[in-house]
Amino acid sequence: MIELRGVTVRYGSTVAVDGIDLDLPTGKIYGLLGRNGSGKTSLLSALASFRRPAAGTIRVDGADAFENPAVMRQTCFIRDTLDTNESDKVRALLTFAGWMRPTWDADYAAKLLDLFEIDPRKRASSLSRGQKSAVGIVLGLASRAPLTILDETYLGMDAVARAAFYRELLDDYLAHPRTIILSTHLIEEVADLFERVIIIDRGRVLLHEETDELRGRGVTVTGPAMAVGEFVVGRPVLGEQSLGGVSAVTLDWRPTPEEVARGESAGLTFGPVGLQDLFVHLTSSAPRWEATR
């Protein structure tokens, strides 16, 4: 179990993470979502012991995480830039990772380099933006660390390379279960990988739920404006669009079959809300919604 209690991260007078409480059962793939500046990277840096929280505690299996060698050796944090000397060759990075990670799989790392067409003899400084991201993915996946954190690691990769990354992540996770936290803006591409979703906004947890629960959480009601308005009275509205006499209202609500039948009899149609659309509605709504667990 990973436990965060009152975790706060500050940069001078700026509060990036504001008193977050989270319980993260291990052995799952988590999606961490948030708008730019929401505090995602600051939270992940604290979770990976890259930064000491200004307040609060982070415990992994009951042990304080910060400056704990046993915990840190079991944690791999890959950011959107390579944390390395640009003059180092790729093979040197892999060798160093093997020294640091007791779970390192050199054969799998070599397979991933072939998959992403990375020459291990090249220097990191000579790689393209997408290739550097691919090397970060190799370091993250081949580490097989019990806690693997991937923060926007796909930047610069084309659609084919990203698809290969997602496929390898899922296949290797199924073969070697561990806790993976994936921070991304490409929500639609990776939504099917997530077992749980955490949304943070302005440094606070907005939502933390099982993905299966989220899939049926929202609904868009479309139809004649008057009928839609009557139907959605008293429901939590996330967004609304109107064109002529037709309205489409997105609700944070799950209607019963009876309610759907009643709406359809009034000329309304009901559509699901995808995870990305739900994220957009939740993080752009005012006032901000209360955090849920």
Reply yes or no on whether the pLDDT at 180 is more than 90.
yes
Q: Tens of pLDDT along 227-268? A: 999 999 988 888 888 888 999 998 888 889 999 999 999 999
Q: Residue 21 pLDDT > 90, yes or no?
A: yes
Instruction: Give me the phi and psi of 206, to 5 degrees please.
Output: -95, -35
User: What are residue 47's phi and psi, to 5 degrees?
Assistant: -65, -35
Least confident among 19-23, 47-51, 120-124, 215-219: 215-219
- Closest by alpha carbon to 106, among 147, 135, 77, 143? 143
| pLDDT, averaged across the chain | 89
The per-residue pLDDT for 290 is 40
Q: What share of the chain in percent tops pLDDT 90? A: 60
pLDDT score at 258? 93
Is residue 235 a contact partner of residue 251, using CB atoms and an 8 Å limit? yes
pTM for this predicted structure: 0.86
* CB neighbourhood size of 135 (10 A): 26
Which pLDDT band, with edges at 50, 70 and 90, does 291 fall under?
very low
**% of residues, the chain, pLDDT over 70:** 97
CATH code, 218-272: 3.30.70.240
Give pLDDT, residue 293: 33
**For the residues 175-201, what does the mean pLDDT come to?**
93
Where does the pLDDT of residue 284 fall: very low under 50, low under 70, confident under 90, or very high at 90 and above?
A: confident
Q: Which three-class secondary structure state does DSSP give residue 33?
A: strand
Q: How many Cβ atoms from other residues are within 10 Å of residue 185's Cβ?
A: 16
Instruction: Give the mean pLDDT of 162-171.
Output: 95
What is the residue whose two structure tokens read 């982070």? 58
pLDDT band of residue 285 (cuts 50, 70, 90) is: low
- Provide the pLDDT for residue 145: 95
Domain range summary for the chain, segments of one domain joined by +: 218-272
Q: Give me the residue label for tokens 């060798």.
A: 95
- pLDDT at residue 108, as a whole number: 96
Residue-level pLDDT at 68? 86
Q: What is the CA radius of gyration of the chain?
A: 22
